[in-house]
């Protein structure tokens, strides 16, 4: 059970990292990039912490478990920011993926802590 749940979380983390990277690059292509500065920063932060957490969890490192709370927080902040730009499809998709990933991180944190 734990291995399957861990695998699902790693998939969610990797998916979130990909969507956040895509969103950041798509934001750079928008007309009013300055309005999206915070969104781009959060996208990049979220992608990075998701990749790092996924890598550590995939190796079975206890440090991956320590990152779950922070990862959930960054994912939530990223999702909240992307929600402000739901008129852009890339932000809409990113928000949904980030909310899901945040929830997966919180669920796993409840199991391991």
pTM above 0.85, yes or no: yes
For 76-104, how does the pLDDT look when each residue is reduced to its tens digit (9 = 90+)?
999 999 999 999 999 999 999 999 999 99
> Between 5 and 15, where is the model more confident?
15
Query: What pLDDT digit, counting tens, does each position of 32-62 carry?
Result: 999 999 999 999 999 999 999 999 999 988 8
* Residue 71 DSSP SS3: helix
Buried-exposed string 91-104: b where 16+ CB fall within 10 A, e elsewhere: bebbbebbbbbbeb
pLDDT for residue 112: 78
Q: Give me the CATH topology for the region 2-112.
A: Substrate Binding Domain Of Dnak; Chain:A; Domain 2 (1.20.1270)
Q: What is the pLDDT of residues 74-83, one digit of tens each?
A: 999 999 999 9
């Amino acid at each position: 059970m734990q291995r399957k749940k861990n695998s699902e979380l790693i998939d969610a983390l990797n998916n979130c990292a990909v969507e956040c990277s895509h969103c950041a690059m798509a934001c750079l292509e928008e007309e009013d990039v300055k309005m999206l500065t915070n969104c781009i920063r959060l996208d990049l932060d979220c992608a990075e912490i998701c990749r790092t957490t996924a890598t550590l969890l995939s190796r079975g490192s206890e440090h991956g478990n320590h990152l779950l709370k922070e990862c959930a927080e960054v994912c939530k902040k990223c999702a909240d920011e992307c929600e402000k730009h739901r008129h852009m499809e890339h932000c809409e998709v990113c928000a949904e993926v980030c909310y899901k990933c945040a929830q997966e991180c919180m669920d796993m944190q409840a199991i391991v802590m």
